[in-house]
Amino acid sequence: MIKKLYAKMISTLAEEKHPSLSTSDRNRLLLVIKARWLLIGMLLIYGVLTSGSYFVAYISSAKGYSPSIFTEALRIMVYPGLIVFMLATYNAIYHISWHRLPQLWSKNVKSLIFAQLAADIPIVLFLIHFTGGINSWFWTLFLVLNLELTYLLTTNWQIIAIGGLTGAGYSILAVLEHYGVLEAYELPFLTPVLHSSTYLVLMLLWVNLISGFSCIISIFLHRSEHKELKERIVKDSLTGLYNRRYFSYRLNSEIQRSQRYGNVISLILFDLDNFKDYNDKYGHNQGDALLRWVADVFKLNIRRSDKEPSYEIDIACRYGGEEFAIILPETTRISGVRSVESLKKELELQKNGAIALADRVRKTIAATRTSTKAKMTISAGIASYPADGRTEKELVEAADKALYKAKESGKNKIVVTESKLQATGT
């Protein structure tokens, strides 16, 4: 349940932060298109150098120049040249349309990504076939394809599927050439012994191992990037606590769950006392260090589930500036009609837990000197659902009023909202 809820929140928050995730995909694909121009340029330079090398080798072996030498060198390069031309053509189409047809890209970016990868695989296979087949060293271009998988595809099954196609395509090509179903395109100066069955098996094993390993690396990098993206969406960059956006989303979600299951939620709002004076006296760097340390105090005191998959039961957030918030969900379900007495008992238990947590935080901060040897304190206001509010706005306002009373009554205090209870039913 928690895992599904978290995934849903991540998806929604991602869409809110990035109005169209396809924009990110478009930018990724544009970078790949630009990188492909570098690859095309490298292939052209290599082709020119190879043609010159073949030409010189033919002259040396024939002990003199003849027109047939030039013809043979040209024959060797014509198919690879056409393949590189095809690659340049469709890359140019992609590049031009990216700038000239933005609506097409916005609506079909996923399909265009798959189309690009689908075109890359046969182009590499053709290039391998016309440069010696299994003897060709252009199979290493599959490593470039696997790098594209890491950068363009968003799910593991997509990476595995496309990565599997590259290995399968090469294996089929090599087997067809080996058994004469497809005529091998021989290059000069290569020994025929390389087409032996032993060499074929070893080469296929190596290529598929490399392809599989590249897919594993791609999946690992993809997971790392996805985890980092989730962290950026829901976490405050300074403190590592959940941010205000996530706080709002999670509090609303917990309220909805509590309405359905009859749970009680407590909300604690914290405010560092005299933080502005501390910032003015010691500087913003020391102020940031203090906020990070306070965040660590929260992390050490909230409830966590140690069972796998582990998760935080209480949700600690940076509410804004020197303000923090902790949402404390309560998991006990009480069915049927609840009297004022039962609500009071349930609320008392929940608030006692919130008070205990807030007091641990308050005492830890008050008893510890900062890196500047200064003494800091923190105040807190506590409110609970449903007694103090039935919406996010009402609950936050109730906790904020309690926090205000704590600040006005001398700071370094905890104030609990006085609840007005009514009998309710589920």
Domains of the chain: 22-234 (no CATH), 244-416 (3.30.70.270)
Residue 18 pLDDT greater than 50, yes or no: no
Report pTM.
Answer: 0.53
Residue 349 pLDDT greater than 70, yes or no: no
Using 50, 70 and 90 to split pLDDT, how confident is the model at 272? very high
Cα(376)–Cα(379) distance, integer angstroms: 10
Residue 310 pLDDT greater than 80, yes or no: no
Per-residue pLDDT tens over the stretch 361-382: 999 999 988 777 888 999 999 9
End-to-end CA distance of the chain: 21
Query: Omega of the bond prior to 386 within 30 degrees of 0, cis?
Result: yes
Q: What is the mean pLDDT of the chain?
A: 76
List C-alpha distances in Å: 131 to 80, 81, 401.
Answer: 7, 11, 77
For the chain, helix, strand, coil in percent to 5 are 70, 10, 20
Question: Can you tell me the mean pLDDT for 255-284?
Answer: 90
Per-residue pLDDT tens over the stretch 280-309: 899 989 999 999 999 999 998 888 877 777
Residue 20 pLDDT greater than 50, yes or no: no
In this predicted structure, what is the pLDDT of residue 224? 62
Q: Is the dihedral of CA 293, 314, 222, 103 positive or negative?
A: negative
Using 50, 70 and 90 to split pLDDT, how confident is the model at 199? low
Cα(398)–Cα(403) distance, integer angstroms: 9
In this predicted structure, what is the pLDDT of residue 248? 92
Q: Which has more confidence, 76 or 196?
A: 76
